[in-house]
Amino acid sequence: MIVVADSGPLQYLVRIGAIDVLAPLYQRVLLPQTVACELQQNNTPTLVRVWITQPPAWCEIRPDPPADPTLAFLDPGERVAIPLALSVRADRLLIDDLAGRAEANRRRLRVTGTVGVLIDAHWASLLDFEQALAQLRQTNLYLSNEVIALARQELSSGERKS
């Protein structure tokens, strides 16, 4: 399975100590160069900046795809992650940004955010969802009560919605 990742999910998974679930879940994670650069910015937590300096073997940094002017309304990471996912026919796009998710869905990409990764990792017995969620809620990632309720509903039903 090949996934393309935007910076948000990677950043939060590193911050809560759950980044290593990506390899057993998805095998290969591709990052556009712009996303890798976002993870190295001064305002990015030190833990994340250190992680991206020596990414694991399953994490491959790729050149940015050609610019798509129809994505100009998105942040730089989303602007390159969506076309890269399309060009490599990725099985999933890891993205949290609401506008980015909507555009990726419109382009028929299968999207998963940080919470979706935690659900998949819980089902694969790689972590405890509630414990990981508690750690995630201590970061600056905005999680609405609705998103949390939907995630818990997915877990209780045993059926993935996305």
* Long-range contacts from 69-76, C-beta under 8 angstroms, 24+ separation: 71/103, 73/99, 74/99, 74/100, 74/103, 75/100, 76/34, 76/38
Provide mean pLDDT across the span 39-44. 95
Asked if residues 59 and 29 have their Cβ atoms less than 8 Å apart, the reply is yes
The predicted structure's pLDDT at residue 162: 55
Beta-sheet pairing, 111-112 with 92-94: parallel
The predicted structure's pLDDT at residue 158: 74
Provide mean pLDDT across the span 23-45. 96
User: Does the pLDDT of residue 85 top 90, yes or no?
Assistant: yes
Domain spanning 2-157, CATH architecture: 3-Layer(aba) Sandwich (3.40)
The predicted structure's pLDDT at residue 159: 67
Q: How far apart are the first and last CA of the chain?
A: 16
How far is residue 142's CA from residue 161's CA, in Å, rounded to a whole number?
A: 20
Asked if residues 129 and 155 have their Cβ atoms less than 8 Å apart, the reply is yes
> What residue spans define the domains of the chain?
2-157
Report pTM.
0.93
Q: pLDDT for 109-125, tens place per residue? A: 999 999 999 999 999 99
Confidence band of 157 (pLDDT split at 50, 70, 90): confident
